[in-house]
Amino acid sequence: MSTRFWSAILARIVLSIGTAAAAQVDLGIITGSEKGTYYQVGLNLKTLVRRHGINMTVATSKGSAENIFAVYQRSASAGSSENPVLNAIKSFLGD
């Protein structure tokens, strides 16, 4: 997993913690299969942020491409992706 990905996830969580005192914060992360590493990381994040009043849902997926499009379509707050898949999609879209 890339450092930029986890930096973005942690930045979003930290920003959410700042607002958690005022209101309940809900986040969703789309990860991968239930047997995969990303799913376990998502569950660990869920446990970590729950202590700060953030309700995080962890959803499974079929992989990086699905995760990227879920975030793009705003059906998830964050998603895991392997860098080569992200770069291929960025090249395809011309970004």
Q: How far apart (Å, rounded) are the C-alpha atoms in residues 13 and 89? A: 25
Mean pLDDT (whole number) for 30-39:
92
59 or 72, higher pLDDT: 59
Which neighbouring-strand residues pair with 26?
55
- For the cut 90, the answer to whether the pLDDT of residue 43 exceeds it is yes
Burial of 46-73, coded b for 16+ CB within 10 Å and e otherwise, reads: beebeeeebebebbebebbebbbebbee
Q: What confidence category does residue 44 fall into, taking pLDDT thresholds of 50, 70 and 90?
A: very high
pTM of the predicted structure, to 2 decimals: 0.66
Asked if residue 81 lies in contact with residue 71, where contact means CB atoms within 8 angstroms, the answer is: no
pLDDT at 52: 83
Residue spans per domain, the chain: 3-93
Which neighbouring-strand residues pair with 79?
30
Identify the CATH class of 3-93.
Answer: alpha beta
Phi, psi of 63 (to 5 degrees): 140, -170
pLDDT at 81: 81
Q: What confidence category does residue 58 fall into, taking pLDDT thresholds of 50, 70 and 90?
A: very high
